[in-house]
Structure 1
Amino acid sequence: MRAKPHHGETSLRSGAAAPAIALTIAGSDSSGGAGTQADLKTFSALGVYGASVIVALTAQNTRAVTAIHDVPLDVVEAQTAAVLDDLDVGAIKIGMLSSPDIVHTVAKALEGYDGPVVLDPVIVSKSGAKLLRDEAIDALVSTLLPRATLITPNLPEAGALLGEPAARDDEEARAQGERLARLGPAVLMKGGHAEGALCTDLLVLPGGGLSRFTAPRIDTPNTHGTGCSLSSAIAAGLAKGLEMEDAVRAAHDWLQGAIRASDRLKVGSGHGPVHHFHQLWSDQEPRDEVTS
């Protein structure tokens, strides 16, 4: 890989400061609410230039996933090499990787990258479709999890990574997070699948540190892509140079706003997407007619 300027430095071509850049390696969502599309929207909403490597094409909407097609491995490798050879990538977010071969291909492609990596171990979609094959879980744990800077499993995903039942309370979540952290990365145990009026995410650091991020549970069906958006928001913060806890806190707060504003979108008839651009779009209702 050739030497590249760090973000914030002046570009010789334009005279402007280079932006922070984040790369998403994930599957495409044809409805735009999750996966690569959600990641790129998140990067843009948070002022980060987004690049992408698509590892799978999915046919899905707010109700269901109806088809998954894996991208050929050589194309996954070529996409990754093309981005990392030319762009100053400040952080990488990894999402859906459906097969062991894709997991190993991505791990190999990242061997020369030494920046932060956020791994969102996507196993099941919001609609209940299985996105990660059983045999790919072992590959994920053995190859990519130790390479990650942070992993962001929800409670069922954390249990699946450990081969255990999902945590039922805060203490079990903390214990599972600590076991995962012993494998190398920091762990954000997402508490959205727990019950109660409050939702608590636990950040467990490899050295033993623990932070809690608590917010009121929002009563809305529009939660499609929340995990993708949170992990990519954390990657955006890391690409900007934030410390881990600060990046998680900023992402957590931003996602709360995106979920609260999701009812304004009215997209689809199932689990709708969050409002990635809630801080940027006008609150005015769209006009029924356009007049000249």
Structure 2
Amino acid sequence: MEKNYTEIFNVTGLSISENNDTTNLSNYLDIEDEEYIFDRTYIRIIFITIYSIVFCLCFFGNLMVILVVTISRRLRSITNFFLANLAVADFCVGLFCVFQNLSIYLATDWILGDFLCKMYQFITSLSYTASIFILVVICTERYFAIIHPITCKQILTPTRLRLVILAVWITSALYSAPKFFWVNTITTSIRGSDETVCIANRKKFNSQLFDMVNFVLLYVIPLAIMTILYTRIAVGLWRSSRKLERHLNAYSNGLQQSFRRKSSEKKVNIKRIDTWFQFN
């Protein structure tokens, strides 16, 4: 049975704005019987190969980072703790999102059910939100450790940093939680047959406002913070290297002058001894 929906977008994030006339999902997805690109065998092989490589790198690479940092006591530093949490976020992407995303391209019919449809969107949002926030936390910790090392030891204690990471995950989960209410599966006509798709209904929220808030909170502000802090770090390291270079030059000049002074004194003493032997 064909159903018509307005103001909806699919899991790839594409949007549609309609007038008073309704349109079915096949027109929205621009799918034609003979021209659907993912019906071509070589396209499917290419996508399956690429996604399989991405999955292996994402899954096993991040799993290795998590295990190494967890098992090795020598690697349990603050920075590696942050990197392990970043690996957890990326690991979730590989585990829950890679092949689910591939299934969207290869089969327009969503076969994973309504709950996994919601979980797919939630985990995707949670993972990239947590990754962005963790990168900001890492940048902030590096800034204080390099530019203000004394303050860093006093303020950024391991316990407080663990609480910060916990707050990052909780905030990311709360930020992504609305996906459970916006996303669901529906049955609609695609290429002449009824198929189930995983979509979010944009009638349930102000999509333009949400996209703008998402862009500012997860791109503009983190990018600005990291740009400013890493610039400060670069400038601070450059100034420190200049000071160190001046100190080394001064020390080197002092050694040279001391060596010349001692060499001159030795020459004078040798001359005195030579003169004494001449007169005795």
TM-score class, shorter: under 0.3
Computing the radius of gyration from Cα coordinates, the structure with the larger value is 2
Which structure is higher in helix share?
2
TM-score, structure 1 length as denominator? 0.20
Highest RCO, 1 vs 2 (Cα 8 Å, sep ≥ 6): 2
Which structure is higher in strand share?
1
